[in-house]
Structure 1
Amino acid sequence: RTREQEAQQRVAAERVRIARELHDIVAHHIALINAQAGVAAHLAKRQPEQLLTALEDIRDTSRSALDELRVTVGLLRQSGDPVAPRTPAPGLADIPVLLASFARAGLTVDHTRHGTAAPLTPAVDLTAYRIVQEALTNVRKHAGADHARLIMHHHPERLTITVEDDGGTARHHPAPAGTGHGLIGMRERVATVGGRLHAGPRPEGGFSVTADLPLRPGRLISETPRRDGHDDSRTACR
C-alpha cells in the first residue's frame, strides 16, 4: 500500500509539473501572438508595406510554441520511445531571444545584470527562464504597459531576478485580471528548487516580481523581511 501511495504521489507531482509547463508555454506564446496580431492589424491600415514583417513574427512565435509543446508533450512518452524529442529545455542563455520576441510584440524590456554569473543546474536554469517569461507575459497581458525592466543580481550562492513595470500608459488599457494561475505557477516553480518569490504592487505604481533562486536546487533560501513591509502572501494573483 505504501508503494502504491508513493507511486500515486509521483504521478500527481508529474502531472502538476507538466501542467505548469503547458500553462507557461501556452500563456506566453498566445499573449505574444495576440499582441503581434494587433500590430499586424494596425499596419494593414496605416503601413501595409510592413505587414509582411508582422505576419512573419506571428509565424515564428506560433512555430516556437509548437516546438515547445512538442517537447513538453514528449515528457508523456515512455523513456524508451525512439521518437521522443531531444530538444534541450530553455534557460538564461535564451533570454535575449525571449526579450526580442517581446520587443516585436510592443514591449520594450531594459535588461541589467549585476555580479558574475555562475553555472546553474538545469532545474534552476529552466526555473529562472520561466520566471522571466511568465512575469513579462503578465506585464504584456495585464499591466497595459509598453516598457518593463529585468534586473538580475548574481550573488555567490543565489540568483535574484526582478521584473517590474510602471503600470499602464495612456495608449493602453489594462486587461481584465486573470485567474491567478501564472503567479501560482511561479511560486510553485520557485519553491520546487528551494527559492523564494515576492510579488505585488510597487509603491511608485506598477507591479514587481522578485525571485531568489539558489544556484543549486534544494538549498532553501532563508526568509528575509521586506524593507517595504509588504506581505505578498495576501497579494491578489495575476
Structure 2
Amino acid sequence: MTSLRPRFIAVLPRIRDIGGPIGFTAAALLAAHSNYATGPKELDLLGAALIVLSNLPVVWRQRAPILTLLICCTGMVAFALAGYWEALNGAGALLAVYTVAGRYPPSRSIPAAVLHTLTQIFVAVISDEMALWMILVLAPQFSLTAWMLGNLKRVLAARNERLAALTERLDRDRIARARRAVIEERVRLARELHDVVAHHMSAISIQAGLARYVFHSDPDTAYTAVQAIGDASGKALEDMRRLLTLLRLDPEHPRDAQLIDVGLGVDRLGELVDNVTAAGVPVDLAVTGTVRRLPAGVELCIYRVVQESLTNVLKHAGKAQVRVTVDYRASEVVVEVVDDGPGTVHGTVSAAEGHGLIGMRERAKLYGGKLTAGALPQKGFRVVLSLPIAGETGADEPHPDHNTRPAGDGRSDDQRTGC
C-alpha cells in the first residue's frame, strides 16, 4: 500500500480531469431523462447528444481551455434552440470558464467570462423557463464566481512559482556563501601557517646548516646553533598552539577570528628580533611616538607583517642589516622594515604570484590599513605598513617602554622568491 500511494497521487489529477466531466455529464443526462427541469420537450437521442456536446469536452480543458469553452457554449445554445431546457446542462461551461481564468491573465479570461454570461442569458431567453430579471441577476454571478475562483488559482500558482524561484535562488546563495566561507577559511589557515611555519623553519634551517658546517671544527658554535634550533622549535610549537586556538573559532565570523588576542603584538617584537639576530642577521628595533595599547587584531597584524618581512630576509637577503621602526602617530601607526640586502633577486616571480606579500596586504586591508613593498633605488628592500588607530578602544593605554635593539627585514617573499 505504501508503494502504491505515490503512484495514485501522481495519476489523481488525470482521474479528476476525466472522471469529473463524465460524472456531471451523466448527472445532466439522468436529470433530463427524469424530466427534472420540466422542459417543453422530452429528452431524446438528439438532446442526449447535445448534453454530451455541452459537457464532455471539458475532459480536454487543460490542453485547450478556450476551445473547450467555445464548444460547451455552442452545445448549450444548440440544446436550447432544439427546444430542450435542462438546468444542469451548464456545468461544463462553468468549469471551462474556471479553467480559462486559471490559465490566462484577465485580458483574455474576462472576455471568456462575458461570453459565458451572454450564453446563459441567451439560453434562458430562448427556453423561456425563467424570468428575465432573474437570469440577468444570476447569470453574471455564476460567471463571476467561476472567473474569480480560477483567477485566484492563477495568482496563487504564480506566487508559488515566484516563491519556488526565490527559494532556489536563496539555496544557491547559501551554497555560494558556504563555499566562500570554506575558501576564506582555507586562505586564513594557509596565511597563518605560512606566517608561523615559514619564519621558524627558516631560522631552524639556517642554524642547522651552521651546526653541520662547524660540527667538527668548532663544537662550541655548533652547540650554540643546536640550542638555537631547540629554542626556535619550542617557539614554533607555542605559535602553533596559538594558531590552533585561532582556527577553532566560528568560520562564519572570520573577522572575529582575526581579532582574537593570541598574545602576539608589538611587545613581542623583541623576542622576534632576538631570534633573527641569533640566526645571523643583525637587526635594530626602534619604537617612536607615544606608545599606546592597540586592539589585539592590530597588534597581531603588526607582528605578522614584521615576522614575514624578517623571514624573507633570513631566506633571501644574505648578509644584510635590518632596521624595524614602529612609529605611533596621532591617528595611525606606521611600521617600516628596511634592509640593505641586494634587493629583488634576479629571475624570481613577481609579487602578484607569491603568497607572503598577498597575505600581508590582506591583513592590512582587514583593519583599514595599507601596505607597500619594493626594492630601494640603490640596494635593499623596504616594507611599510600603515594602520589607522584613531578612536580604537583601549588605544591610549601605554605599553612598557621599548629600547632600540636588533630586529628583522622588510623583504617580501613574493618579490624575492614568490613563496
Structure 2 residue aligned with 1:28, among 193, 199, 208? 199
CA distance in 1, matches of 2:281, 2:184: 34
**More helix, by proportion:** 2
Percent identity over the alignment?
Answer: 40
Aligned partners of 1:108 and 1:146 also within 8 Å: yes
- Helix, strand or coil at the partner of 1:44: coil
1:157 deviation in Å? Answer: 1.3
Equivalent in the alignment of 1:205: 379
Equivalent in the alignment of 1:115: 289
1:89 deviation in Å? Answer: 3.5
Which protein, 1 or 2, shows the higher relative CO under an 8 Å CA cutoff with sep ≥ 6?
A: 1
Amino acid at match of 2:217: R
**More strand, by proportion:** 1
Deviations 1:100-137 (Å, cap 9, x if unpaired)?
00011001101122211122111110000001100111
- Helix, strand or coil at the partner of 1:205: coil
CA distance in 1, matches of 2:372, 2:276: 23
1:37 deviation in Å? Answer: 1.1
CA distance in 1, matches of 2:216, 2:390: 51
Deviations 1:188-218 (Å, cap 9, x if unpaired)?
1111111101100101211111110122699
1:180 deviation in Å? Answer: 2.0
Amino acid at match of 1:38: G
C-alpha change, 1:62 and 1:184, in structure 2 (3 Å) is same
Equivalent in the alignment of 1:99: 273
Amino acid at match of 2:199: H
In the alignment, structure 1 residue 143 sits paired with structure 2 residue 325: no
In the alignment, structure 1 residue 51 sits paired with structure 2 residue 222: yes
Amino acid at match of 1:15: R
CA distance in 2, matches of 1:5, 1:99: 43
Aligned partners of 2:289 and 2:328 also within 8 Å: yes
Structure 1: 5+ residue runs without aligned partners?
80-85, 219-234
CA distance in 2, matches of 1:159, 1:73: 28
In the alignment, structure 1 residue 215 sits paired with structure 2 residue 389: yes
CA distance in 2, matches of 1:23, 1:36: 20
CA RMSD of superposed structures (Å): 2.8
Amino acid at match of 2:197: V
In the alignment, structure 1 residue 124 sits paired with structure 2 residue 298: yes
* TM-score, scaled relative to structure 1: 0.79
In the alignment, structure 1 residue 64 sits paired with structure 2 residue 235: yes
1:3 deviation in Å? Answer: 4.3
C-alpha change, 1:76 and 1:121, in structure 2 (3 Å) is closer
CA distance in 2, matches of 1:191, 1:117: 23
CA distance in 1, matches of 2:246, 2:227: 29
CA distance in 2, matches of 1:103, 1:116: 26
Aligned partners of 2:326 and 2:336 also within 8 Å: yes
CA distance in 2, matches of 1:57, 1:176: 32
Amino acid at match of 2:235: S
Equivalent in the alignment of 1:191: 365
CA distance in 2, matches of 1:51, 1:195: 43
C-alpha change, 1:141 and 1:176, in structure 2 (3 Å) is farther
1:16 deviation in Å? Answer: 1.6
Equivalent in the alignment of 1:19: 190
Deviation larger for 87-96 or 182-191:
87-96
How many residue pairs get matched? 212
1:156 deviation in Å? Answer: 1.2
C-alpha change, 1:8 and 1:183, in structure 2 (3 Å) is same
Deviations 1:41-89 (Å, cap 9, x if unpaired)?
233243212322211110111121122223323444477xxxxxx9934
* Aligned pairs (5 A) from 1:3-18: 3-18=174-189
Structure 2: 5+ residue runs without aligned partners?
1-169, 251-259, 393-413
- Helix, strand or coil at the partner of 1:46: coil
Amino acid at match of 1:213: L
